[in-house]
Amino acid sequence: MEGRMTHHSNNTTIINSTSCIYTSKSLFPISPTAKSPLSRPSISFKRPSFTFLTRLPSEFGGSPLVRMEDPFTASLSSVSPRKNLTTCNHLRHVESMAHLPSGADRITRLNALILGDALASEEDDLIFPSEVFSSQAHVSSSQKYLEMYQRSVHDPSGFWSDIASEFYWREKWGQQVYCENFDVRKGKIKIEWFKGGMTNICYNCLDRNIESGKGDKTAIYWEGNEPGLDSSMTYNQLLARVCQLANYLKDVGVHKGDAVVIYLPMLMELPIAMLACARIGAIHSVVFAGFSAESLAQRIIDCRPKVVITCNAVRRGSKIIYLKEIVDSALLESAQKGIVTDVCLTYENESAMKKEMTKWTKGRDIWWQDVILKYPVTCDVEWVDAEDPLFLLYTSGSTGKPKGVLHTTGGYMVYTATTFKYAFDYKPTDIYWCTADCGWITGHSYVTYGPLLNGATVVVFEGAPNYPDVGRCWDIVDKYKVSIFYTAPTLVRSLMREGDEHVSRYSRKSLRVLGSVGEPINPSAWRWFFNVIGDARCPISDTWWQTETGGFMITPLPGAWPQKPGSATLPFFGVQPVIVDEKGVEIEGECSGYLCVKSSWPGAFRTLHGDHERYETTYFSTFPGYYFSGDGCSRDKDGYYWLTGRVDDVINVSGHRIGTAEVESALVSHPQCAEAAVVGVEHEVKGQGIYAFVTIVEGVPYSDDLRKSLVMVVRNQIGAFAAPDKIHWAPGLPKTRSGKIMRRILRKIASRQLDELGDTSTLADPTVVDQLIALADC
């Protein structure tokens, strides 16, 4: 699994900026006067902005720890021998920072590139921020983090109230800042923050910034699919456009609490639509414009929107996707099931398709450009309670039915703004670009709300990152002088495969902070991201969080502490992560297990739309008293957290969470498919790939045409991103006598870990395993 710690005990690596010697098993520092066992020239390197560290091997007679000369290192703490830290409280990871993780001298940028994955041990590699970066950071040292974190968990009411007071509230919340119950044994699961406080997130994103003098500041730079197609919008202009759409929505009968489904590509109209809904208290549900008509219909049926907002088509790379036709099919299907949507507001995306070519339903379909510009550019704000719903976002579940994750207004507003500010060390002069789509939680929290709440300038990109060539990202970075770049490991790995020359021909000098999201990033990709994209001078905020959490949960704070390639490092303010065993018992110190969170945080989701029982069962029943993330996690000897991936039946493909049951359901809808079982496997580019075991109807021969037909069924019913990477013919599936499919065995076969199959004697038909192995390459 990506992000897993690996150990290479015979390849310990140390590099000193004075001189180095090479041996067949190591590269380590010697003093300039020492006698070398091999005749090699000394090599000197210029010190980069960051510092790599590794453990000094004891067999070379050195101390296991070498004191660092950097002033920032000294500010972390004095270096002392490691000891086993086994405290029984949530500040354990902070206490571990009182003891600097073991390391010895500097590894330069150049050598880090050469060494790659041959370093001694991933959790022993450290990268320190420069003294200059740390001195200017919001959190400039581990000591400052420690003080803030301690207050956030010992006095959450005071900590979050102080931050919330920086926003505009029409009425302040009551004496009780938050109320929670995380234990299903004590009653209904309940999370509330700032209840009774009246606010509006759109007002805080736009009006509040304009009133503070940012009206003429660029809010959005929009970059189209085709190079040269671009636009921009100031905060004043953005507010006017939001108000026009908000007035239209009110005019067609959308009121506070009504749902609006948004099925748009990354046009400026997408964040405009989100903000317009929020302004009038409507609940927006953005659906990624890559989902099929059937998936869109499921979401429409569940949330019953008053309006669907879409566009006629979008061009992604060289391909045109006819979104309006997908919406037409979804509205027809939902109407057949009794859910009728009266208004389909359609934006003409003329770069992809002209009006006259668009299929039209009179009386329901309305062109955006024909009506919106006629409305006033001011719109009264609907003040809402902090616990009133803000949006629904559907995420895949293991039962096959998408889950409608419900986020409310006040806590989400405070949390996303705060995580954005600190995790990216945001400054008012920064230009920020997140490559995510607003159809996912990252686009909600860190394209729209988090940045705009901070008055940031955001780049919104419509196209594909490799179109018209693989240098497009860096062309955009140079064009807009992007200083904070936040993307997914999938993109990093795919660009890494194309070679460094596609990066080095661009300047990228504006970059200051990098970020990773969606899945654990493997250490080799982390190093390439750091060394090649960031020129070894930009810290990486490798964030762990979920649709359900609303914002970052475990993340580096640039400037505060050393980073480790592949580790999300330490928890954000107010977050109390724990690792438990299969019995729900907390494990202390260095360990691996199930990642849970105890106690609530402001950005947490409140329920699943229309199904609170499923909310409690899915997230709070497995380990009573905790929120169960569904992820596996390791904690190393220094208290750093390493995410190891999903432990349930949800596959993370390029940051998209896809339920195995959803894919299986699509496969078995094929008339020639009798049964299917889907598992996730490691994928070089996507993180995880979809591996499908398919049992076909008796008498039907295996064929490539059938394989293609099965894949096409999934593409049509769910979307191209859910298409199986491998169809494995299965005469039968490994099942227990009770009929349960043993997915553990399927995962081992899919991963070719045949020596780890374990005991198969409990299967109803053990011979099935041999048959599957024999068909692995068919």
- Residue 232, number of CB atoms within 10 A of its CB: 16
Contacts of 707 (CB under 8 A, 6+ apart): 727
Query: Would the CA dihedral through 601, 602, 608, 610 be positive or negative?
Result: positive
Question: How far is residue 174 from each of residues 156, 383, 389, measured CA to CA in Å?
Answer: 15, 16, 19
Query: Would you name the residues annotated as active-site residues?
Result: 648
Q: Do 459 and 480 meet the contact criterion of CB atoms below 8 Å apart?
A: yes
Strand partners, 608: 405
CA 46: distance to chain centroid? 35
- For residue 167, which phi and psi values (nearest 5 degrees)? -100, 170
Cis peptide before 624, with omega less than 30 degrees from 0? Answer: no
Q: CA 500, CA 582: separation in Å to the nearest integer?
A: 44
Cβ burial of 60 (10 Å; 0-12, 13-18, 19+) is middle
* Residues 514-572: tens digit of each pLDDT: 999 987 887 878 989 999 999 999 999 999 999 999 999 999 999 999 999 989 999 99
Q: Of the candidates 316, 677, 252, which has an alpha carbon nearest to the alpha carbon of residue 472?
A: 316
Q: Do 459 and 472 meet the contact criterion of CB atoms below 8 Å apart?
A: no
Give the model's pLDDT for residue 320.
Answer: 94
Task: Return the biggest CA–CA distance within the chain.
Answer: 88
Give the model's pLDDT for residue 397.
Answer: 58
Q: Of the candidates 47, 81, 57, which has an alpha carbon nearest to the alpha carbon of residue 67?
A: 81
SS3 label, residue 689: strand
Q: 157 or 658: which carries more pLDDT confidence?
A: 157
Extract the tokens encoding 627. Answer: 């929120």
In the chain, pLDDT over 90 holds for what percent of residues? 67
The enclosing H or E element of 662 equals helix 660-668
Query: Would the CA dihedral through 594, 76, 8, 568 be positive or negative?
Result: positive
SS3 label, residue 241: helix
Q: CA 283, CA 255: separation in Å to the nearest integer?
A: 9
Q: CA 439, CA 460: separation in Å to the nearest integer?
A: 13
Which of these ranges, 16-20, 244-248, 341-345, 396-400, has the smallest mean pLDDT? 16-20
* Residues 361-391: tens digit of each pLDDT: 999 999 999 999 999 999 999 999 999 999 9
* Residues 23-40: tens digit of each pLDDT: 222 222 222 223 222 222
Contacts of 346 (CB under 8 A, 6+ apart): 309, 310, 311, 312, 324, 358, 365, 366, 367, 368
* Residues 189-241: tens digit of each pLDDT: 999 999 999 999 999 999 999 999 999 999 999 999 999 999 999 999 999 99
* Residues 103-122: tens digit of each pLDDT: 222 223 322 322 223 332 34
Cβ burial of 78 (10 Å; 0-12, 13-18, 19+) is exposed
Q: What is the dihedral of CA 734, 739, 740, 746, to 10 degrees?
A: 10
When computed from its CA atoms, the radius of gyration of the chain, rounded to whole angstroms, is 27
SS (H, E, C) 330-375: HHHHHHHCCCCCCEEEEECCCCCCCHHHCCCCCCCEEEHHHHHHHC
Cβ burial of 30 (10 Å; 0-12, 13-18, 19+) is middle
Q: CA 771, CA 38: separation in Å to the nearest integer?
A: 54
Label residue 275 by pLDDT band (50, 70, 90): very high
Give the model's pLDDT for residue 114.
Answer: 25
Q: Of the candidates 180, 159, 165, 620, which has an alpha carbon nearest to the alpha carbon of residue 387?
A: 180
* DSSP tag of 121: B
Q: CA 30, CA 23: separation in Å to the nearest integer?
A: 12
* DSSP tag of 741: B
Label residue 291 by pLDDT band (50, 70, 90): confident
Q: CA 72, CA 49: separation in Å to the nearest integer?
A: 12
Extract the tokens encoding 141. Answer: 């040292």
Predicted TM-score (pTM) of this structure: 0.78
- For residue 326, which phi and psi values (nearest 5 degrees)? -65, -45
Number of C-alpha atoms within 13 angstroms, CB side, residue 566? 25
Q: Do 405 and 285 meet the contact criterion of CB atoms below 8 Å apart?
A: no
* Residues 661-718: tens digit of each pLDDT: 779 878 988 999 988 899 999 898 888 999 999 999 888 999 999 999 999 999 998 9
Q: CA 452, CA 470: separation in Å to the nearest integer?
A: 29
Please report the DSSP string for 171-219 in residue order.
B---S--EEEE--GGGSS-EEEESTT-EE-HHHHHTHHHIIIIITTSEE
Task: State yes or no: pLDDT of 751 exceeds 70.
Answer: yes
Q: CA 638, CA 313: separation in Å to the nearest integer?
A: 50
- For residue 719, which phi and psi values (nearest 5 degrees)? 150, 160
Average pLDDT value for residue range 137-154? 97
Mean pLDDT over each residue of the chain, to the nearest integer: 84
SS3 label, residue 320: strand
Q: Of the candidates 590, 508, 611, 601, which has an alpha carbon nearest to the alpha carbon of residue 549?
A: 601
